[in-house]
Amino acid sequence: MAGFEAPTPLKKHLLDSHTTTEDVGRIAAAAGVKVLVLSHFVPGDDPEVTDEDWTRDVKKNYTGRIVVAKDLMELKLPV
């Protein structure tokens, strides 16, 4: 196929073993999640990627509260 470039092993792993943000929103909505915490980002340390970038596709299917986790962030759970 002209112009087709096979994914690198890392890219293949990421695509095969991680959930897209759009699917995360769909799953959270179907499960009735009240607060969705996003974590384990790839790339995780790129200052060019904003919280809005991470949540944009989630919001296509999920309307609840979204928290974009940061390293060392602590969240209090309701008791």
Q: How confident is the model at residue 41 (pLDDT cuts 50, 70, 90)?
A: confident
pTM to 2 decimal places: 0.78
DSSP string covering 30-77, please?
HHT-SEEEE---SSSS-TTS-HHHHHTTGGGT--SEEEE--TT---PP
* H/E element, 6: none
Rounded CA separation 23/15 (Å): 13
Q: Which pLDDT score is estimated for 52?
A: 96
- The distance from CA 32 to its chain's CA centroid, rounded to whole angstroms, is 17
> What value does the mean pLDDT take over residues 24-45?
92
User: Do 7 and 15 touch, CB atoms closer than 8 A?
Assistant: yes
